[in-house]
Structure 1
């Protein structure tokens, strides 16, 4: 009954996410109770669960509160709790972000398998199928990592966009601080001010515009790392492992801001440390999920489609409603005896 039921039950026992394994780690016993609860964002999930309980209390009354909480926290552990939820929720915790990345990869992996190349706007439409209010700005920033100085309407492969999007989405607040440090170094200022991450605000600042000359020259990598090392030490939300950041910067003498982001997105160790996506070579291989997707597509024939088919301005005319982990999102559609069965009427009736 959880949101995304077809994605909810893994086929293999070893398919538990790295985030859920960390939740079950014996290391948790070494932390004070309050510190463990804060580190794992338990209160965030408790507040959301209670909110969902109150919102759907009439439906839940026939099943029982205990069963609801069991279903809810099972969906959290399995990573399906973020499907069709609002952006403020999917970016609220590192586990939510990793779960959303994994869901996006699994749902639209067929784009990569088919060799399709999509534009930034088309990838944004796919993101909106899973999160209807996903901000365009984050998609644009991810596309900029891939396209660099090319026009934003250029085509991108699924794997290129996915790994760039992973870095931009998961480390969003960290990258805002990095951009501020980079701009200060570029203009000869002392980077004393660091942007304080606000994970619950949903607001993302525009990156400072760089001149053509400064963008080509970049900054000294060793000096850049000194400030990033300090940033990683005090960054409370999420940042790449400092040792891996040092490894990225030790291979060059100077680099640009977007050169740094490209290096992060292509770094094998950073992808492994984040734990949301497989290695690039295994990106298109997920036999168990192929079976799940076949069942999902049979139930939701209009969900996994190419963004340009049946669209206006590159986006689908309809998007899934936001749902709770308790109520089923979709119900069998009744056939109108007087309908002529045209696609146009069907799409309009769903709007």
Structure 2
């Protein structure tokens, strides 16, 4: 369904806001690289399937890191895909290290950088030893903040360091409510690093950053809500507060609330069907299982040699994970 925002913005501005050019360039690139394979399906069907996969969020599977971070929609889609693929880690109560979570990320994006995984882990561990174990939910919500808002957090880190070392003006004049006199806030250079920085001064800087930033930022009203509950805070304390904030999570829209994180009834039903089918096949065709596996492996290998063909395959994966798209996809097939 088209967004009503398209009617309130000029055409070029709306296309830029939605990063349509990014997807068109990617689609045409895949079309040219695989034109011989695509010719048997038709160009119109290829573009239909490509943009259906973009809409459903399945287009980021097995893609390079530069692509999955290229747009906010790609980032949200990758977060949702990671959650759906590895939800059972949390459901089973498994605790993993940062390196192990990074291995899971690399299953979806082979060149995913370790640095981002480590930064997400530091939010959970508060800069403790990086080989400590983390729950799936703790890592996932910290990873969401670090991955989706990575450029914003880089600027936040620089601002925090400036405040901590006293590079901003030493005094901030704040009018009182009655007398008109002024009070002076403590200079950041006088603060202990263990105590962090003054929350209200930190918010003033972040509010300005959110207004001028070209990258995705949390809503300034929610940032203010986080910072208004404390007088002082550290950098990682601020990141942890963002990761735990329900309003920010709902604004992103990629993950459910923490209480529903391990629930996905449609996925569970599809997995049960798949397991029953696999069990039935193993019982009914025991003698030919080796040959069938070989043939299936060969067919899957031939599919994965083409970057565009997995788009259709990935839509079917999404059907298994999201029952709401089942009817649309089945009509296209």
**TM-score computed with the length of structure 1 as normaliser:** 0.72
CA gap 1:323/1:58 in 2 versus in 1, 3 angstroms: closer
User: Matches of residues 202-241 of structure 1 in structure 2 within 5 Å?
Assistant: 214-241=192-219
3-state SS of the aligned residue for 1:81? Answer: helix
Aligned partners of 2:277, 2:103: CA distance in 1, in Å?
Answer: 21
Equivalences, count: 268
Structure 2 match to 1:257: 235
Q: CA deviation at 1:217?
A: 1.5
Alignment match of 2:159 (pick from 172, 177, 181): 181
Aligned partners of 2:47, 2:274: CA distance in 1, in Å?
Answer: 24
Structure 2 match to 1:324: 307
3-state SS of the aligned residue for 2:60? Answer: coil
Structure 1 match to 2:109: 131
Q: CA deviation at 1:325?
A: 3.7
Query: Is 2:97–2:132's contact at 8 Å kept on the other side of the alignment?
Result: yes
3-state SS of the aligned residue for 1:153? Answer: coil
Query: Is 1:75–1:325's contact at 8 Å kept on the other side of the alignment?
Result: no
Query: Is 2:304–2:310's contact at 8 Å kept on the other side of the alignment?
Result: no
CA gap 1:121/1:62 in 2 versus in 1, 3 angstroms: same
Aligned partners of 1:299, 1:130: CA distance in 2, in Å?
Answer: 25
Alignment match of 2:267 (pick from 289, 293, 296): 289
3-state SS of the aligned residue for 1:190? Answer: coil
Q: CA deviation at 1:152?
A: 0.4
Aligned partners of 1:298, 1:170: CA distance in 2, in Å?
Answer: 37
Structure 2 match to 1:274: 252
Q: Does 1:41 align with 2:28?
A: no
Q: CA deviation at 1:292?
A: 4.0
RMSD: 2.3
Q: CA deviation at 1:322?
A: 8.5
3-state SS of the aligned residue for 2:167? Answer: coil
CA gap 1:156/1:40 in 2 versus in 1, 3 angstroms: same
Aligned partners of 1:328, 1:296: CA distance in 2, in Å?
Answer: 21
Q: Which runs of 5+ in 1 are unaligned?
A: 1-20, 192-212, 301-319, 331-351
3-state SS of the aligned residue for 1:137? Answer: helix
Structure 1 match to 2:82: 104
- Deviation string 1:292-346 (CA, Å, 9 cap, x unpaired) is 456778999xxxxxxxxxxxxxxxxxxx97862424799xxxxxxxxxxxxxxxx
Greater Rg by CA: 2
Between structures 1 and 2, the one with greater helix share: 2
CA gap 1:293/1:38 in 2 versus in 1, 3 angstroms: farther
Aligned partners of 2:232, 2:305: CA distance in 1, in Å?
Answer: 45
User: Matches of residues 42-57 of structure 1 in structure 2 within 5 Å?
Assistant: 42-57=20-35
Q: CA deviation at 1:222?
A: 0.3
CA gap 1:28/1:287 in 2 versus in 1, 3 angstroms: same
Aligned partners of 2:132, 2:267: CA distance in 1, in Å?
Answer: 30
Q: CA deviation at 1:61?
A: 0.4
Aligned partners of 2:162, 2:83: CA distance in 1, in Å?
Answer: 36
Specify which structure has the bigger relative contact order, considering alpha-carbon pairs within 8 angstroms and separated by 6 or more residues. Answer: 1
Query: Is 1:105–1:277's contact at 8 Å kept on the other side of the alignment?
Result: yes
Alignment match of 2:94 (pick from 116, 120, 123): 116
